Amino acid sequence: MTRARARRIDALLCRLMAGLIGAATALSCAAADFDYQLAPERIADGVYVLVGRTEDFSFDNGGNIVNTSFIVGDSGVTVIDTGSSKRYGEQLRAAIARITPLPITLVINTHHHPDHFLGNQGFATAILAATPTTTHGIETEGPAFLDNMYRLNGDWMLGTEVVVPGATLEPGRIDSGGRKLEILTFDGHTASDLVVRDIRTGTLFASDLVFNGRAPTTPHADIATWLEALDRLQQIPFSHLVPGHGAIATDTRPIEQTRRYLQWLSRTIAEGAEQGLDMTEMLEKPVPAEFAGLAVVDKEYRRSVVHLFPQAELAALRAASARKAMASPTFEHIAK
Ligand SMILES: [Zn+2]
């Protein structure tokens, strides 16, 4: 029996017990059960990553589909992203305490997607930091994300609330817990995507600008801008590359993979719109063999078509009517 199935059966037994014995027993039962089994992986001196599954949100994974990280400095710990739920944030904090007694001094939300900030409750609000755009995104879109995450992950989300970062991050070098970090700001995956480079080890935390072995998500993407960000990112030297989702790398292959997928996606959608295909025809298009091995690719492709194709259709219509106007004689031409 898989661990996920065993957990589901345990959870069902818990609910049954709740009905028979009462709410107090059910709560203690659930708390013992909902364990993400977080295991920080040390990838460089003082640098730890918790690699999530390359899946979509579900009750089976409880939303643990994201990479979170922490850097142990000389006097404090910097956390990069907080996971998908209150439980994740609390379990991340506990996992850090098992590695070091140093205090957590800074917690960064790289962007406003729910798997990167819904664990904020595990940490003090004053040390939660993000760019002003990300903070605004969490404030305005956070409640809707939270509703959706309860729907997808069920009781794993119990007690989770949106916590807006209390501090602001600007690009540049900072000293965080006795460790020099470079804060780099990009956009394209969302309106603000923050990247962190640990100067001591050269570890580059690329946030969701880079996916490795999993199809990129695009609900807030501007693909042209994202491609520019990848070009800039590829110029930055690193020892380890930590993508937002998928395995850690020591080379630029995940950047190239993300770039090729986005180029194909954008070209496919633009060409479909120019050819006058409809949404159903677009959804039925096969994913090329090069990307067929990416986790969740069928689902992400369809999701991307649903939110990107209407804009592409509009752009194709505008381009066609502009061409038509150029071809027709204007009043000015006739007058001459
Ligand atoms: Zn994201």
Model pLDDT, residue 73: 98
> What is the CA(111)–ligand 1 centre distance, in A?
7
> What is the CA(11)–ligand 1 centre distance, in A?
29
Class of domain 37-260: alpha beta
> What is the CA(188)–ligand 1 centre distance, in A?
10
> What is the CA(31)–ligand 1 centre distance, in A?
28
Q: Which of 23-37, 230-244, 309-323 has the lowest mean pLDDT?
A: 23-37
> What is the CA(214)–ligand 1 centre distance, in A?
12
Q: List pLDDT tens digits, range 110-154.
A: 999 999 999 999 999 999 999 999 999 999 999 999 999 999 999
> What is the CA(208)–ligand 1 centre distance, in A?
5
CA-to-CA distance for 106 and 127, rounded, in angstroms?
5
Model pLDDT, residue 10: 52
Q: List pLDDT tens digits, range 202-245.
A: 999 999 999 999 999 999 999 999 999 999 999 999 999 999 99
> What is the CA(265)–ligand 1 centre distance, in A?
17
> What is the CA(18)–ligand 1 centre distance, in A?
36
> What is the CA(197)–ligand 1 centre distance, in A?
18
Contact status, residue 214 vs residue 246, Cβ threshold 8 Å? yes
Residues lying with their CB under 5 A of ligand 1, a single-atom ion: 113, 208
Is pLDDT above 90 for 99? yes
Number of H helices, E strands in the chain: 11, 12
> What is the CA(317)–ligand 1 centre distance, in A?
30
> What is the CA(57)–ligand 1 centre distance, in A?
13
Q: Report the Cα 76 to chain-centroid distance in Å.
A: 25
> What is the CA(257)–ligand 1 centre distance, in A?
17
Contact status, residue 230 vs residue 208, Cβ threshold 8 Å? no
Greater pLDDT, 332 or 3? 332
Give SS3 for 204.
Answer: strand
> What is the CA(295)–ligand 1 centre distance, in A?
15
Q: List pLDDT tens digits, range 264-292.
A: 999 999 999 999 999 999 999 999 999 99
> What is the CA(43)–ligand 1 centre distance, in A?
23
Contact status, residue 184 vs residue 194, Cβ threshold 8 Å? yes
- pLDDT band per the 50, 70, 90 thresholds, residue 15: low
Q: List pLDDT tens digits, range 285-311.
A: 999 999 999 999 999 999 999 999 999
Is pLDDT above 60 for 334? no
> What is the CA(245)–ligand 1 centre distance, in A?
9
- pLDDT band per the 50, 70, 90 thresholds, residue 327: confident
* Mean pLDDT over each residue of the chain, to the nearest integer: 91
For residue 108, give every residue at least 6 positions away whose Cβ sits within 8 Å of its Cβ, in sequence order, or none.
78, 79, 80, 81, 129, 130, 169, 194, 196
> What is the CA(331)–ligand 1 centre distance, in A?
50
- Tell me the domain boundaries of the chain: 1-33, 37-260
- pLDDT band per the 50, 70, 90 thresholds, residue 326: confident
> What is the CA(336)–ligand 1 centre distance, in A?
56
> Hey, what are 266's tokens?
């954008």
> What is the CA(243)–ligand 1 centre distance, in A?
11
Is pLDDT above 60 for 24? no
- pLDDT band per the 50, 70, 90 thresholds, residue 323: confident
> What is the CA(28)–ligand 1 centre distance, in A?
33
- pLDDT band per the 50, 70, 90 thresholds, residue 14: low
CA-to-CA distance for 293 and 300, rounded, in angstroms?
13
Model pLDDT, residue 20: 44
> What is the CA(189)–ligand 1 centre distance, in A?
7
Q: What are phi and psi of 102, to 5 degrees?
A: -65, 150
The enclosing H or E element of 187 equals: none
> What is the CA(64)–ligand 1 centre distance, in A?
13
The DSSP call for residue 249 is B
